[in-house]
């Protein structure tokens, strides 16, 4: 059978009919309306990151998740906007983490033991990488060619760089995790624009009913994704 989900990504997408979402809005969730409105507003103005930091996020996330033959990369998917918006949530303030001292370091397998929440990790991490980059390459991260950006990310991932108070590897993992979240979360949160992330994977989003596809002998699921707000790819 010809895999229908391997068709080239449609860059232009049809917005879901807003009418179909009216009952959700009537249920009083203002965040949806806000999210849809925010998505329409161009260009996005970051509220947590300053301009330099935002350029770093845009550049680094695109290297982690680059545009290629498979489809869009972090930039086209709105990953930087996603991360900036996440910085205003309880998650970024570490409100669900145990953050009581003393903070004592130990073996890696006993888990995260730094006194920093995600907002701190980004502030300190970006400043650290920028400092490192200027020292070793004479320019800011976003102004380097991709090959050198990859070199720096590889060094961070490998753990050979300490960014002042934050180990390079910790910052790298934070950035990688949030980048991938931004590529694949519901577009409600600003990333996965046009459902581009889901389309690449063949993930149908919020359809959540596969009664007819429990076992189709390995045939691909036929429908394209739909988002929580009713947007389709």
68: contact with another protein by CB under 8 A: yes
Q: Which of 188, 194, 224, 231 binds another protein (CB under 8 A)?
A: 188
Q: Does residue 35 bind another protein (CB under 8 A)?
A: no
- With binding defined as CB under 8 A, does residue 13 bind another protein? no
Instruction: Tell me, letter by letter, the H, E, C secondary structure of the chain.
Output: CCCHHHCCCCCCCCCCCHHHHHHHHHCCCHHHHHHHHHHHCCCCCCCCCCHHHHHHHHHHHHHHCCCECCECCHHHHCHHHHHHHHCCCCCCCCCCCCCCCCCCCCCHHHCCCCCCCHHHHHHHHHHHHHHHHHHHHCCCHHHCCHHHHHHHHHHHHHCCCEECCEEHHHHHHHHHHHHHHHHHCCHHHCCCHHHHHHHHHCCCECCCCCHHHCCCCCCCCCCCCECCCCCEC
Q: Give pairs for 17-26: CB < 8 Å, separation 24+.
A: 17/230, 18/230, 20/230, 21/229, 21/230, 24/229
Among 58, 81, 184, 193, binds another protein (CB under 8 A): 184
16 counts as binding another protein under rule CB under 8 A = no
Give the nearest distance from C-beta 99 to another protein in angstroms. 7
215 binds another protein (CB under 8 A): yes
Closest separation in Å from C-beta 47 to another protein:
19
**Sign of the C-alpha dihedral, residues 148, 161, 132, 141?**
positive
107 lies in the binding site for another protein (CB under 8 A):
yes
Restricted to residues 108-127, the positions that interact with another protein (CB under 8 A) are: 108-113
Shortest gap between Cβ of 62 and another protein (angstroms)? 10
By CB under 8 A, is residue 106 in contact with another protein? yes
Which position among 53, 58, 130, 181 is part of the footprint of another protein (CB under 8 A)? 181
Q: Which is nearer to another protein, 50 or 99 (CB)?
A: 99
Cβ nearer to another protein, comparing 20 with 134:
20
By the rule CB under 8 A, 144 interacts with another protein: no
Q: Does 203 bind another protein (CB under 8 A)?
A: yes
Number of residues that bind another protein (CB under 8 A): 67
Q: Residue 109 Cβ, how far from another protein at the closest point, in Å?
A: 4
16, 44, 140, 202: which one contacts another protein (CB under 8 A)? 202
């Amino acid at each position: 059978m010809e895999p229908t989900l391997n068709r080239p990504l449609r860059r232009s997408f049809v917005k879901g009919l807003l009418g179909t979402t009216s009952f959700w809005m009537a249920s009083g969730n203002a965040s949806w309306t806000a999210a849809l409105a925010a998505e329409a507003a161009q260009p996005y103005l970051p509220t947590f990151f300053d301009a330099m930091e935002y350029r770093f996020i845009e550049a680094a996330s695109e290297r982690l998740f680059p545009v290629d033959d498979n489809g869009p990369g972090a930039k086209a998917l709105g990953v930087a906007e996603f991360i900036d918006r996440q910085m205003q949530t309880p998650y970024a303030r570490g409100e669900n983490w145990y953050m009581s001292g003393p903070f004592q370091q130990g073996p890696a397998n006993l888990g995260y033991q730094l006194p920093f929440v995600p907002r701190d990790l980004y502030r300190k991490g970006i400043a650290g990488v920028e400092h490192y980059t200027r020292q070793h390459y004479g320019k800011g991260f976003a102004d380097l060619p991709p090959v050198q950006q990859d070199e720096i990310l590889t060094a961070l991932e490998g753990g050979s760089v300490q960014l002042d108070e934050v180990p390079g590897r910790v910052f790298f993992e934070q950035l990688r995790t949030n980048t991938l979240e931004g590529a694949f979360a519901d577009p409600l949160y600003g990333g996965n624009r046009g459902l581009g992330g889901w389309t690449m994977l063949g993930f149908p989003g919020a359809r959540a009913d596969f009664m007819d596809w429990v076992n189709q002998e390995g045939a691909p699921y036929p429908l394209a994704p739909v988002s929580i707000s009713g947007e389709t790819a």
